[in-house]
Chain A
């Protein structure tokens, strides 16, 4: 199920590699990061284009939860400000579970209802990392199509 007006998340193969690499580097803990790009309107609706991927520190240093380090977030926000763009989403890894928002993810997504949430599953049974995108609004999860470009 998709919310009306959902953009397609377009990431380059290099960006994909950065995200996946950071997720593996973070093991055994969850890894996390931010996405920056153009957005439209007062509510900063992402267009789906990602101009910057920011690997960040997981301040929780936990295999079960993540919190994007505050200073890393501030730095990322300032970088996007300088470009006239904004943070449009975030990503984190699930070390052993599916690439789907957990109940915790759904609860904490209330702060950024316009964002695209990317989850990378490193579940060993998959054999390869699985990356999926979502929007989470009022407790409802809807998939965001992901396209690898370039």
Chain B
């Protein structure tokens, strides 16, 4: 499935400034593997060492938060828009 992945400002430094990239995959995990393959600098920014979604990153497939779906196992359909947003948090 070919999907559009929208990147937050901070991650665009790893994609030569590109805000939106197209990638193929059946799940979010596969799509992330594909974009890290295209832009190796993204490695470690989306998925941590244990293979889980990075804590400070929120990912939406269209409008759905993947943490409420199947996290990295969430399936994607052709033409879906995957939005990556930094978590905004503090105390």
**A110: B residues at CB distance < 8 A:** 56
Interface size classification for chain A:
20 to 34
Q: Is there an interface contact between B9 and A114, defined as CB atoms closer than 8 Å? A: yes
A105 within 8 Å of B (CB atoms): yes
Contact of A108 among B13, B17, B56 (CB under 8 A): B56
The majority secondary structure among interface residues of chain A is mixed
- Report if A44-B9 is in contact (Cβ < 8 Å); known contacts: A74-B60, A77-B85, A111-B56: yes
**B65: A residues at CB distance < 8 A:** 70-71
A49 within 8 Å of B (CB atoms): no
**B89: A residues at CB distance < 8 A:** 60, 65-68, 108
Q: Is there an interface contact between A92 and B63, defined as CB atoms closer than 8 Å? A: no
Q: Is there an interface contact between A104 and B90, defined as CB atoms closer than 8 Å? A: yes
Residues in A lying within 8 Å of B, measured CB to CB: 30, 32, 34, 42-44, 60, 64-68, 70-71, 73-74, 77, 86, 90, 92, 101-102, 104-105, 108-114, 117
